[in-house]
Structure 1
């Protein structure tokens, strides 16, 4: 009887252990499934990705399986790629969906708007790839400036071809006309004068192209020294006096005296000459062009103000581009090449300064060269 009781107790203990083990196993499986469920529903990105996204200068975005943005870099926000925790552009969403389906990374260039409501367009170099098993990583670089520079380069090549073709074609035609009019002295004289004018124009364009190329070189200022601004203004005004007098345009100079800047006097005279010539070119006969000098807080400003036709607001950012003309027909009639203001910009930049423009259509324009005083600039390295 005792043996039977002991056996029953042992059996009961064994059964209890088995039941306990089973319950523990069930609990363990449930816990593991719970961990997996938490991992599936968690919005946390993999370790270290947060810090990488925050450090990116370009755009970086992490997208979850529901296409919600769980992390975006400051660059992505600045480009307007993310709004209300979602990607703004359908093109980007399509790339994300494709990567999620195929698992293969994608690289593309896209042309999209900046932000959900913006009119400005940006060019993006985009790469999309998986990030772990759940997330998609989208990286984008802004290539807008590269596209703009490429467009400027194409315009430059097209414009220079056109500008050179016009006088070269005219010279060729005039040479033929001279040959056929050899027995008519009056015609020969007329054609010869026009031939001289076109050859001068061709030479002027070529010289300005050479000058612009030299200004873009690293050693543009090989002979920098203190320059008397009063003398600089006097020389530039004198160079334009004959043209101004012919159109009864008054050139008036004034402002602070005794200012000095540090640089190449010949280049600075060329820059100021171009500004004054440009002011005369776009001013009506009998008007006035002012040249004023202001010296404040280590900066010397030379402003050239006209009473001309003015520049439309949407063209103000382009006036310093090579071959850009606000009024192409008038520029060509007066012999303008479209390089003068571009030369001014590069001269001023090489001297450590900048140039600003204010204009109102029908009222006139003011171009202001800003340069460091000689005392401030002499210790600085001046270069392109």
Structure 2
């Protein structure tokens, strides 16, 4: 029975049980005491009667027979009535009977009052503890309503009320989690809007300046052509920024569902660097691919290809003329790894812990056109598929990115 599992109710029931046992025991003792008192009083009466009869020279045998007789006759009743010894008569024993009656009444009254007091105290303590428990719960619930989840309702005991408290605590935990999620979402949205507005200021300012120059020299075809091209570059940069922010925002908010399937790693790499091969050739750089063409990886080919492409693009951005970007892969018993290395400028020690932050640009960077979203986007894509991306670098010697994916055993 769930009611009896409540710690306070169990304590109260135990109190009532002990109270009942003590009351019955006390009543029994008092009853025995009163019976003994009545017997003593009756014996005292018999002693007084026998003494009086002996003084009247009544034989002892007659007195003994009289005290052992149990029959009542009319003559006996008439004799007592004539002698004035009825119920309402005064006798030498009447004061003793009155004293006995008063003593018995006072004893019973005091006993009953004492037990009523103990019972009242026990009931008061039970309901006082109950009220204090409800007040504590009410105070904590008000804190929950106000968004303060630092205190918790007691729920580590058995009983119906604690089951209710446990359900309320679970609800509070859900609300806290929801509030925290909403808070993070608001902060994320605020930071995203702030980042976008900050990053758009430069290209928008450049566009405004280019427009003013074109408007001031409309007859100069060369100037119009030159700054129209620059406007196109700024617009392209803005488009790239907005698309990258949309992608990374969708990834961070969990709105992207990766369509994982088995694909050849060689095809994945070729797809990733397809648009970068021409750039590397124009800049007199090399992209070398080396690995088992038959090995397969379970991943979303489009998104994983974009992540690898962003890392390779970053490597090209930080590699001098004649530099080499090398892509290899290897399968271990429980993990598949893709390695992307270069012999470029490397990453300074003070920058290596910040390269995956949005819009982060090192003061040592030789790339003046990047927007600082390629590596954060790659990280979100890899981790969104349950993978891990790590980096090792030595300034002036190059960088190694490692993409690790768990394989199916």
Q: 2:205 aligns with which of 162, 169, 194?
A: 169
Q: Report the alpha carbon displacement of residue 156 of structure 1 after superposing the two structures with TM.
A: 0.8
Aligned counterparts of 1:270 and 1:129: Cα–Cα separation in 2: 49
- Structure 2 equivalent of residue 87 of structure 1: none
For residues 243-291 of structure 1, what are the alpha-carbon distances to aligned partners after superposition, in whole Å with 9 as ceiling and x for unaligned? 5566666645445552212454333322210122123335567665443
Mapping of residues 221-300 of structure 1, within 5 Å:
225-237=261-273, 239-244=275-280, 251-255=287-291, 257-282=293-318, 289-297=325-333, 299-300=335-336
SS in 2 for 1:8: helix
Which residue does the alignment assign to 1:27? 114
Matched, 1:15 2:102: yes
Alpha-carbon distance between aligned partners in 1 of 2:212 and 2:192, rounded to the nearest angstrom: 30
Aligned Cα root-mean-square deviation (Å): 4.9
2:389 corresponds to: 356
Structure 1 match to 2:347: 309
Q: Tell me how far apart the structure 2 counterparts of residues 284 and 178 of structure 1 sit (CA, whole Å).
A: 35
CA distance in structure 1 between the partners assigned to 2:331 and 2:382 by the alignment: 16
Distance 2:299 2:210 in 1: 43
Q: Which structure 2 residue ranges, 5 or more long, are not aligned? A: 1-83, 156-160, 162-167
Q: Match for residue 42 of structure 2?
A: none
Rounded to whole Å, the distance in 2 between the matches of 1:368 and 1:287 is: 19
Question: Could you say what secondary structure the match of 1:4 adopts?
Answer: coil
1:9–1:359: structure 2 CA closer, same or farther, 3 Å change rule?
A: farther
Task: Tell me whether 206-215 or 340-349 shows the greater mean CA deviation.
Answer: 206-215
Q: For residues 126 and 366 of structure 2, what CA distance do their matches in structure 1 show?
A: 71
Aligned mates of 2:144, 2:238 — CA distance in 1: 51
Three-state SS of the structure 2 residue aligned to 1:334 is coil
Q: 1:204 aligns with which of 215, 236, 240?
A: 240
- Partner SS, residue 338 of structure 1: coil
Point out the structure with max Rg over C-alpha: 2
In structure 1, the residue matched to 2:80 is: none
Q: Is 1:151 aligned to 2:184, yes or no? A: no
Distance in 2, matches of 1:329 and 1:365, equals 17
Distance 1:332 1:149 in 2: 34
What's the offset of the Cα at 1:161? 2.5
Q: CA 1:183–1:252 in 2, change beyond 3 Å: closer, same or farther?
A: same
Aligned residues: 302
In the alignment, is residue 326 of structure 1 matched against residue 360 of structure 2?
A: yes
Could you tell me how far 1:172 is from its partner in structure 2?
3.5
Greater share of strand residues, 1 or 2?
Answer: 1
Q: 2: CA distance between counterparts of 1:202 and 1:330?
A: 24
**Gaps (5+ residues) in structure 1?**
50-61, 65-95, 110-123, 378-384
**Equivalents in 2 of 1:282, 1:108: separation in Å?**
52
- Once the two structures are superposed, what CA deviation does each residue of 1:199-247 show, in whole Å capped at 9, x if it has no partner? 322332344345557767867557x653211222234345434555666
The TM-score with structure 2 as length reference comes to 0.55
Q: Retained in 2: the 8 A contact 1:255–1:294?
A: yes
Q: Is the 8 A contact 1:291 1:304 kept in 2?
A: yes
1:149 match: secondary structure: helix
Structure 1 pair 40/254, CA: closer, same or farther in 2 (3 Å)? farther
**Residues 7 and 355 (structure 1 numbering): CA distance in 2 closer, same or farther, change over 3 Å?**
same
| SS of equivalent to 1:370 | strand
Secondary structure of the 1:22 match is helix
More helix by share: 2
